[in-house]
C-alpha cells in the first residue's frame, strides 16, 4: 500500500482535516502560534507514518497524532504559554454590532471556561462537542477506555456548568439565551 501512496494521496486524505487538526491543537495548546507549529509537526509525523495508515477514519487517525504531538510539546515545555482571547480570530455569526459585541462577551466566557478545564477533560470535550466523535472513536484517539471517556465528559460538563455559573454571564448556565 505504502509504495503506491503519492503525495497527492496524502494531501487528498489529510488536508481536508486541517481545520479540525488546528482547532484541537489550538484548544490543547491554548495559543495560536503553538497550534500552528504543532499542526505542522503532526502532519510531518503523519507523512512519515503514512505507510502504516490502513484506511481507517483519516480524521481520527490524524487527530490522534495532533493530540500526541500537543502533549509531547506541553510535556517538554515547548509551549509559549497561554495567550489571551483574540477576538479577530473568532468566527462571527452576526452582523449587527451590538449583538456582535454581546456575543463576543459570551463567547469569551464560554471559551475561558473550556480553557480552564484540565487538558485530559478538555480533549474529550473538544472531540465530542466540536468533532462529534463517538465515545469509541474518542477512546481510540486518547488511549483510554470508553468508560473513562464517559466519566471524563460528565465531569468536564459539570465543571463547565460550575464555571459558567460563576462567570459574569450568569444566564449562560441558567438557560438558553434568546438571540
What residues make contact with other proteins under the rule CB under 8 A? 7, 10-11, 15, 18-19, 21-23, 26-27, 32, 35-37, 39-41, 43-44, 47-48, 89-91, 103, 106-107, 109-111, 114, 128-130, 134-135, 150-151, 153-154, 157, 160-161, 164, 172-177, 179
Question: Which residue's CB is nearer to other proteins, number 89 or number 166?
Answer: 89
Question: Which residue's CB is nearer to other proteins, number 1 or number 154?
Answer: 154
> What HEC string does 45-92 produce?
HHHHCHHHCCCCCHHHHHHHHHHHHHHHHHHCCCCCCCCCCCHHHCCC
Contacts of 24 (CB under 8 A, 6+ apart): 63, 66, 67, 70, 123, 126, 127, 131
Q: Which residue has the cell 451590538?
A: 98
Residue 99: helix, strand or coil by DSSP? helix
Contacts of 166 (CB under 8 A, 6+ apart): none
Question: Which residue's CB is nearer to other proteins, number 64 or number 172?
Answer: 172
Question: Which residue's CB is nearer to other proteins, number 140 or number 160?
Answer: 160
| Minimum distance from residue 160 beta carbon to other proteins (Å) | 6
| Minimum distance from residue 168 beta carbon to other proteins (Å) | 14
Amino acid at each position: 500500500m505504502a509504495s503506491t501512496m503519492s503525495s497527492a494521496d496524502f494531501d487528498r486524505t489529510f488536508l481536508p482535516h486541517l481545520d479540525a487538526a488546528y482547532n484541537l491543537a489550538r484548544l490543547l495548546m491554548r495559543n495560536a502560534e503553538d497550534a500552528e507549529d504543532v499542526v505542522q509537526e503532526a502532519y510531518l509525523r503523519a507523512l512519515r507514518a503514512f505507510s502504516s495508515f490502513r484506511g481507517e477514519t483519516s480524521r481520527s487517525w490524524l487527530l490522534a497524532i495532533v493530540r500526541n504531538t500537543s502533549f509531547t510539546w506541553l510535556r517538554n515545555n515547548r509551549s509559549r504559554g497561554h495567550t489571551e482571547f483574540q477576538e479577530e480570530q473568532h468566527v462571527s455569526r452576526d452582523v449587527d454590532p451590538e449583538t456582535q459585541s454581546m456575543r463576543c462577551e459570551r463567547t469569551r466566557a464560554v471559551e475561558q471556561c473550556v480553557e480552564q478545564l484540565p487538558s485530559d477533560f478538555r480533549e474529550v470535550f473538544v472531540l465530542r462537542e466540536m468533532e462529534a466523535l463517538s465515545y469509541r472513536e474518542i477512546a481510540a484517539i486518547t488511549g483510554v477506555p470508553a468508560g473513562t471517556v464517559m466519566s471524563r465528559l460528565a465531569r468536564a460538563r459539570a465543571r463547565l456548568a460550575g464555571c459558567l455559573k460563576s462567570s459574569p454571564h450568569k444566564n449562560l448556565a441558567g438557560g438558553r439565551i434568546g438571540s
